[in-house]
Amino acid sequence: MNLNRRLFLAGSALGGAALAGCGKAAPGVAEKPKVTVGLTYIPNVQFSPFYLAESEGLFRDQGVDVQLRHHGTQEGLFTALEAGEEQVVFASGDEAVVAAAGGLSTLRTCATCYQSYPGVVLGGPQVAALADLKGRRFGVPGRNGSTWFTALAALAAAGLSESDVEIVEVGWTQVSALTSGQVDAVVGFKNNDAVQVAAAGFTANEIPVVDAATPNLVGPGLMVLDGKVDAATLGRIVAAVKAAEEAIVANPEKALAATEKHVPTLAEPEQRATASTVLEATSALWKRDGKVSLEADEAAFNRMAGFLAERGIIQSAPQELLVKLN
């Protein structure tokens, strides 16, 4: 997604050597695999499971030495992964499939952190359903990335083509574009743009785009280059993140406290309240059938690859999409 551009290993030059870690362990002491997990862009409460797993030693307890790394704003989503500066990256499933189909053929998903796709349509008074988009001004950040895939899925679900709406490229200004009346609806993320629109005092119609039972888009998860990290190490990282998510669901304050170390402004009451709202919306996306899950659904990935090919985003589906952890 352009995963929240506003809004998972380091080995560095050793590349595959990161699987076993760097340096030598003391005699008789098992060496923990050293991995760098890439987190996209600006530190945010949405990354709190990783912050908590780090601060409470959940990665360590799983026997993995994990370093977290935030990307630079001008950095490509998978650039550090390709360079060996990261071995795992947190990114959107749809963008991973597009990258794999576009040349990064060994890119795989090993876990899906958001069991519900976060992309939604936020409509003004005249757009209460996807069919209402017909003839309306439809704001998108651009014609690429997860928000664009969300827009295409919205049109497909409504039986509309791009020519049935007026596509308006508004950059990352969906909130102001909608609240000022520049457009009649926008695409955005349920745990970001929808929260900002509500905070602005604007009542928007939040319209789901992806069918929860048979999704054709998959949201953020953990991506890896095939063969660079062994399945056992990946499984331990996934287990630590899952434990962190479960701890946050039980006690959201843990997430805020862990995030504050990376986002000091959360010490301010207003900023903390906003982060709490974002966290509430985000943690709801982690659940499947009411429970936290990081399972990657192969059928959903296959549907997504088919949809993206049908819409001309990719020429054909990659032969392999997932890394099996068991």
Q: For the chain, give every domain's residue range.
A: 12-116+218-310, 119-208
**% of the chain at pLDDT higher than 70:** 90
- The mean pLDDT value of the chain amounts to 91
pLDDT tens, 209-264?
Answer: 999 999 999 999 999 999 999 999 999 999 999 999 999 999 999 999 999 999 99
* Domains 12-116+218-310 and 119-208 in one fold: yes
pLDDT tens, 67-85?
Answer: 999 998 889 999 999 999 9
Topology given in CATH for the domain delimited by 12-116+218-310: D-Maltodextrin-Binding Protein; domain 2 (3.40.190)
Distance CA 164, CA 217 (A): 22
Distance CA 282, CA 276 (A): 10
The per-residue pLDDT for 32 is 87
The per-residue pLDDT for 18 is 33
CATH 3.40.50.620 for domain 119-208, yes or no, is no
Edge to edge, what strands does the sheet with 119-123 contain? Answer: 166-169, 137-140, 185-189, 119-123, 205-208
The per-residue pLDDT for 142 is 96
* Band of pLDDT at residue 324, cut at 50, 70 and 90: confident
Q: For residue 15, is pLDDT > 50?
A: no
pLDDT tens, 292-312?
Answer: 999 999 999 999 999 999 999
* Band of pLDDT at residue 23, cut at 50, 70 and 90: very low
The per-residue pLDDT for 30 is 58
The per-residue pLDDT for 161 is 97
Q: Return phi, psi of residue 258, to 5°.
A: -70, -35
Sequence-ordered list of residues with C-beta below 8 angstroms from that of 127, at least 6 positions apart, any chain? 121, 133, 136, 184, 185, 205, 207
Q: For residue 92, is pLDDT > 50?
A: yes
The per-residue pLDDT for 326 is 66
Q: Which residue's entry shows tokens 């095939």?
A: 226
pLDDT tens, 165-221?
Answer: 999 999 999 999 999 999 999 999 999 999 999 999 999 999 999 999 999 999 999
Q: For residue 156, is pLDDT > 80?
A: yes
2 token code pair: 């352009």
Q: For residue 14, is pLDDT > 70?
A: no
Distance CA 62, CA 53 (A): 10
The per-residue pLDDT for 72 is 87
More confident residue, 264 or 21: 264
Distance CA 307, CA 209 (A): 13
Q: For residue 17, is pLDDT > 70?
A: no
Output the CA torsion sign for 272, 273, 275, 280. positive
Rounded to an integer, the average pLDDT of 40-53 is 95
pTM for this structure?
Answer: 0.89
**% of the chain at pLDDT higher than 90:** 87
* Band of pLDDT at residue 40, cut at 50, 70 and 90: confident
Distance CA 99, CA 93 (A): 10
